[in-house]
Amino acid sequence: RDGIGTMASAQYRSGSIDPSIQLFLSADPDDFLDKASTLDQLSGQQVEALKKIQEKQRELAQERQEATDKLEDLASTRTELGKKKKEVQGKLADAQKLLNSLTAQERAALQADQARASRDSMRDALGGSTVPASGRAGAAYGVAQSKVGSPYVYGASGPSSFDCSGLTSWAYAQVGVGIPRTSEAQANAGTRIYSTSGLKVGDLVFFFNDLHHVGLYAGNGQVLHAPRPGTVVRYESMSTIGGPFMFGVRV
């Protein structure tokens, strides 16, 4: 643009006299014709430069539109995530109110039931014939076992308290494997396994259609996980999670 503008300004200052009149008035026709040929070449270069500018402008316009569309998508996603976060926080508040309304005796009975269910699930997991996954999945599972009994705290990722994806990401991190923090992102952290018969100990297992819950497969239809507020890290049958099993992921 700068180059073409400079040349256009020079042409404006020269007055742009008709070429035939310039030839008639020229004291040296040969010299004029040589200059005219040079100017013709420069005009051709200007045309090419203008074409390039037009192409670049079209490309920029397209990229600007794509960027605008992506920004709109991001804004929509951010709004949706904000709504989901408020929904989750509301449910957590309701759950906490319910827990606070329990008497000491009711809390003790609930904890006893949960501990008994966890022991039963652990016995089922360890008593079967499932072969633990070798390598990092088995190692991550072994680390997670040391956290049985740790309290569930929403947003916590160890070492003393956890939410569901906080436990799985922490366990894998302890054996040198980095996986995303949220359950939705962890669903894309490895190879998916859609059949429970194909699962091995230490595989990530996901529940509910929106994949908001994840745990570690413990073998024989059991999962080691951090369930929800008011509970602790424990073993549980996959059939009692409260939502459908979607698939497993082998990291």
19: number of Cβ within 10 Å: 12
Query: Which helix (DSSP H) or strand (DSSP E) does residue 204 occupy?
Result: strand 204-207
Q: Is the dihedral of CA 205, 208, 214, 217 positive or negative?
A: negative
In eight-state DSSP terms, residue 114 is H
pLDDT of residue 129: 43
* Cα separation, 216 vs 60, whole angstroms: 48
- Among 8, 7, 1, 2, which Cα is nearest to 54's? 1
Task: Answer yes or no: pTM beyond 0.95.
Answer: no
CA atoms within 13 A on the CB side of 59: 6
pLDDT of residue 131: 44
pLDDT of residue 120: 64
pLDDT of residue 75: 87
Token pair in block for residue 186: 């962890």
pLDDT of residue 113: 74
- How do the domains of the chain map onto residue ranges? 2-77, 114-250
Q: What is the dihedral of CA 230, 234, 235, 241, to 10 degrees?
A: 30
* Cα separation, 149 vs 175, whole angstroms: 21
pLDDT of residue 161: 96
69-91 burial: b if 16+ Cβ within 10 Å, else e = eeeeeeeeeeeeeeeeeeeeeee
Which residue among the candidates 141, 147, 202, 213 is catalytic per the annotation?
213
* Cα separation, 167 vs 109, whole angstroms: 25
- Domain 114-250 is found in CATH 3.90.1720.10: yes
3-class SS at 95? Answer: helix
pLDDT of residue 170: 97
Any idea which residue has 């040391």 for tokens? 146
Any idea which residue has 């239809």 for tokens? 221
Query: Which helix (DSSP H) or strand (DSSP E) does residue 79 occupy?
Result: helix 29-101
Which residue among the candidates 125, 139, 164, 167 is catalytic per the annotation?
164
Residuewise pLDDT in 10s, the chain (251 residues): 666 566 666 666 655 555 554 555 556 666 666 666 665 665 666 667 777 888 888 899 899 999 988 988 888 888 888 888 888 788 878 877 887 887 888 877 777 776 676 666 566 555 544 445 557 899 999 999 999 999 999 999 999 999 999 999 999 999 999 999 999 999 999 999 999 999 999 999 999 999 999 999 999 999 999 998 888 999 999 999 988 999 999 99
Q: Check if 164 is active-site.
A: yes
* Cα separation, 186 vs 157, whole angstroms: 14
Which residue among the candidates 147, 200, 225, 250 is catalytic per the annotation?
225
Q: Check if 212 is active-site.
A: no
* Cα separation, 99 vs 96, whole angstroms: 5
